[in-house]
Amino acid sequence: MTPAEPACSRFDVPPIDDAAVPDYVREMEQAASYLTAPQLAMVRRAWTIGAAAHAGQTRKSGEPYITHPVAVAGVLAEQKLDAETLVAAILHDTIEDTPLTRACIAAEFGDTVADLVDGVTKLDKLHFRDRQEAAAESFRKMLLAMSRDLRVILIKLADRLHNMRTLGAKNPESRARIARETLEIYAPIAQRLGMNLIKAELQDLGFRALYPWRHTVLEKRIRTQPVVRREALVQIEANLAQRLAKEKLPHRLISRVKSPWSIYTKMRAEHKSFAQVMDVFGFRIVLRTVADCYHALGVVHATYKPLDARFRDFIAIPKANGYQSLHTVLFGPYGSPVEVQLRTEEMDLIAERGIAAHWSYKDGSEGPNSAQSRAHNWISGLVETQHATGSSLEFLENVKVDLFPDEVYLFSPKGDILSLPRNATALDFAYAVHTDVGNQAVAARVDGKLVPLRTRLANGQRVEIITARSSMPKPQWLEFVVSGKARTSIRQQLKHIEHEDAVQLGHRMLDRALEALDTSLERVPAERVEAYLQEHRYPRLEALLADIALGNRMPSQVALQLSREAGARGGQRRAEPVPLSKDRILITGAERGVITFANCCLPVPGDEIMGYHTAGKGLVVHRMDCPNVADYRKSPERWVAIGWDRKVSGDFSAALRIEVDNRPGALASVAAAIAEAESNIDRVEYLERDTHIAVLRFSIEVGDRRHLANVIRKVRRLGVVMGVQRI
């Protein structure tokens, strides 16, 4: 091809005569017969261009490669998707595997089709290897492609479904990897998008490929059900149909057969035998209207008694993927439970096709409960989460929480319905309402009763979050939240708070260092500061200040470089060494992430203290009488003069060495005295012990030096105590 030749010229193929069209294309077009004649012509044109682009390429089975993308389009045609999606499906491998370009596809079929093909092309590079960074990063890309156009994931799911149907040509290792990836990622996505037909087939094919022997055994057992069971099924069906007909309720009654995968997972999860799992009859009743569904529910409850606490109304409260149905369990005539689902035709379509139903069933499917809008909301929430997540692995971990939901449905004070994962807490609910509500939450009211944020929620509860502007997230919150959004938001906010504290402390440290050189940050020319930032690759001044606080840059050295340049501009040059500032930096102890208290001496407010600048840790605070301070004198440039601020508050760790008479009740007496002094005990350990004396170390929390002295006084007064010493 010469440079002047258009990129698409080699694929400008003439139309193919009807007689020459292969059978596999005719089958796909038959499935797409709901399209108009011009749309079918566009799909045919896509095949001719795709066939020319893939000419000479074959699959592992030896078939021409073009048979695969045409089969993918056929899967989507069965779901009655629009013509653009079918065209994109036929061309989905061309950008990746052929010289056909995005520009060429756009010129021929428009930008929408080109965007769909481009989105799927990126997805085709995905190879999920559970818990590996590459897989997680790929999942991020897939999510972003889904957020732009949901049809991208529909094409990818159809592509995966056809690959699973033709998995036999792969080697055993590849089959197992692809099957595991299908069960772990693609089937749950299909379920989350409400596409139950595709989900069920993906699960069945994945199960067959991963555990062929188990699948064969279960399939055979299902096929050879006892005659008694088959007769019972027919009898129950006849009874239900007769009662519904008497009430003049037009309906479709379908008996449901369990799949090998659903039986297998239930046997494993509930530790049941095959007979126990199969000893449940299932029926679906499809009716005309919602009112008919509730009417029919009364009829089936009158036919067979319902089992208590087994009724679920997913019409009033739809599932997160838009699924709507009434579920009830009846006590059957043969002593076995009878599971019944009641729904309208539209609900049945959405239950089977999920978001794919949006393109073929426009009537009433645009509301807030539609699978389409719920899928968009889910993906929008994930996009928001991925922007705030630090690592791809953390993001994938959060998404998996949402992909395997065992949901609880909760009400806001205004009556809005929120769905959260099982074991969700009041704090998860707060973050589900809004990130700011979560960040400022202090407590909750559940059904009018005041409860702490860690309270687990149950289905149907009404939750109100109490907030305070002064409140902020605490690291302990990460121990009990379960939703991905809550975890990500808390981590992000904690990092933000730590960064702000680091910037403030770094600013004070640099100011002190510059004051020792008779200058200040304000007097250093802005261009010099900018040049220093560029030289050391800092995006802004805050990043440098945070790095100083974290011990990664010495404030004295930064100050020297900045002031030296400033002095040079004034005709002066400064000589080494740098004098240290005698002014103390005052701390409150609440500076998160940049100040730590040394475990060797455990300083508390009121102690004389010094700070040691440690790379990566920031300021490590020691008592001046700490035995380790002598070693730190060897690095005076890392010393930081610090003191306690007047506004110090909170609890600080301290340790006491207590000698007691080793007799029953001695330990309890000491613990009671410490509690009486309003101090918490973190830990108690024996340092020495013999028949007469026991030496214990008490790790406690105190407010300041006076509080500690009060604790020591109360302990000393005890008759069993022979000595108290602060460690």
Residues belonging to the active site: 96-97
Q: Is the dihedral of CA 160, 164, 169, 173 positive or negative?
A: positive
Max alpha carbon distance in the chain (Å)? 108
CB burial of residue 592 (10 Å; 0-12, 13-18, 19+) = middle
Kind of pairing, strands 585-587 and 642-644? parallel
Q: Is the dihedral of CA 84, 86, 88, 94 positive or negative?
A: negative
* Cβ contacts of 487 within 8 Å, gap of 6 or more: 398, 478, 481
- Whether 287 contacts 261, CB under 8 Å: no
How far apart CA 655 and CA 561 sit, in angstroms, is: 43
How far apart CA 652 and CA 597 sit, in angstroms, is: 9
**What are the beta bridge partners of residue 466?**
443
Residue 724 structure tokens: 């108290």
How far apart CA 160 and CA 154 sit, in angstroms, is: 10
- Whether 606 contacts 706, CB under 8 Å: yes
Residue 548 structure tokens: 């100083």
First to last CA, the chain: 83
Kind of pairing, strands 721-726 and 652-661? antiparallel
Give the H/E segment covering residue 229: helix 227-246
- Whether 263 contacts 211, CB under 8 Å: no
DSSP state of 691: S
Q: Which bin fits 407, alpha (ψ -120 to 50), beta or left (φ > 0)? A: beta
How many residues in total does the chain contain?
727
Q: Which bin fits 602, alpha (ψ -120 to 50), beta or left (φ > 0)? A: left
How far apart CA 712 and CA 77 sit, in angstroms, is: 80
- Kindly provide the b/e burial profile for residues 596-614, where b requires at least 16 CB atoms within 10 angstroms of the residue's own CB: ebbeebbbbbbbebbbbbe
**What are the beta bridge partners of residue 618?**
614
How far apart CA 138 and CA 65 sit, in angstroms, is: 25
CB half-sphere exposure, 307, CA atoms < 13 A? 15
The residue type at 681: I
Residue with tokens 């806001």: 412
- Whether 661 contacts 628, CB under 8 Å: no
Name the packing angle between helices 172-181 and 196-210 (round to 10°): 150
Residue with tokens 């994945």: 206
How far apart CA 463 and CA 419 sit, in angstroms, is: 12
Residue 390 structure tokens: 């630090």
Kind of pairing, strands 595-597 and 618-623? parallel
- Whether 35 contacts 83, CB under 8 Å: yes
